[in-house]
Amino acid sequence: MIAHDAALPRRGPAGAVPARRWGRAWRGAVNSPVRAAAAAVLAALVAAAVLAPAIAPYNPLTITVADRLTGPSARHLLGTDEVGRDLLSNILYAGRVSLLVGSGATAVGMVLAVPLGLVAGLRGGLADDLIMRFTDGLLAIPGILLALAIVASFGTSLRTLMIGVGCTLIPATVRIVRAGVLVERAKDYVVAAQALGSREARILLRHVFPNVRSAVLIQGTLGMTFAILTEAFMSFVGLGVQPPASSLGTLLASGYGFIRLAPWYVTFPGTAIFMLVWSLNVLGDAFRDSLDPRLRRF
């Protein structure tokens, strides 16, 4: 008896991106000075956030009233805040929170949206209609308002914040994954797997998903930028991270009241948000160009 997958290539269907090609895709993604700079900036920001306890010059909660609102100096490289806390130390720890919320919200959005997109695209019919009408309902609500409603209803904790921001990423991800599955569903390798009696779960996980995972990766990087900006906005209006913890958005909110007296108080956290979002956007576009053969440079 012929095995179900005997007629299919063992290395995966055409168009898939095998694990050994991810290194080539990465090299293609940083093939210009701007993209290489974005990768270096992102790596530096992530490393600084992860190593914050080791490299922060001061405890971010240490208050020194005599040093309140002092400008950048050899003692405080980025200046201090309204109660004399070192701004560099606060930015390092706040970056950890912003990255945690951004990556956590992106993971929540991907975990919820990718299976829905796969099922909607492959099964069609009633399942497709139900999933897409649910997605249309989420799209009818502005993302910021949806996140604010969830956080206001269930409390301002990190977990609620990640879930609320992650829910805003579901509609776009479902549509992108579904569109990719609809393209792959009509190809010969899926038809052959169905004709050989392969189970739907096996077709989705082994044959279809490898062909759409590059789109999921790209959407993840772009979704993370939106998650970081959404978290910064919610923290700015007081519905994000609560004291004594702080994120880059809360630092912006605190510094806004002293923008005339201490412009560095908002400049440095704002610059950190800008560099983080810029590097993620550039790398997202770079991966799209590298993994999509139609956009690849020869």
Mind listing the pLDDT tens digit for each residue in 142-199?
Answer: 888 888 888 888 877 888 889 999 999 999 999 999 988 888 877 777 778 777 777 7
Amino acid at 266: V
In degrees, rounded to 5, the angle at the alpha carbon of residue 158 between the alpha carbons of residues 155 and 161 is 65
- Check residue 189 and give its pLDDT: 78
Express each pLDDT in 83-130 by its tens digit: 889 999 999 999 999 999 999 999 999 999 999 998 888 887 888 899
Q: Which domains does the chain have, with CATH numbers?
A: 32-291 (1.10.3720.10)
- Range in 19-33, 158-172, 179-193, 224-238 with the lowest mean pLDDT: 19-33
Give this prediction's pTM.
0.80
Amino acid at 63: I
Whether residue 124 contacts residue 130, with contact meaning beta carbons closer than 8 Å, is answered with no
Identify which of 64, 88, 65 has the alpha carbon closest to the alpha carbon of residue 76. 88
C-alpha to C-alpha distance for 172 and 165, rounded to whole angstroms: 13
Q: What is the mean pLDDT of the chain?
A: 82
Whether residue 20 contacts residue 64, with contact meaning beta carbons closer than 8 Å, is answered with no
Checking if the pLDDT of 205 tops 90, the result is no
Identify which of 223, 281, 276 has the alpha carbon closest to the alpha carbon of residue 247. 276
Bridge partner residues of 80 (DSSP): 86
Over range 205-222, report the average pLDDT.
Answer: 82
- Check residue 259 and give its pLDDT: 87
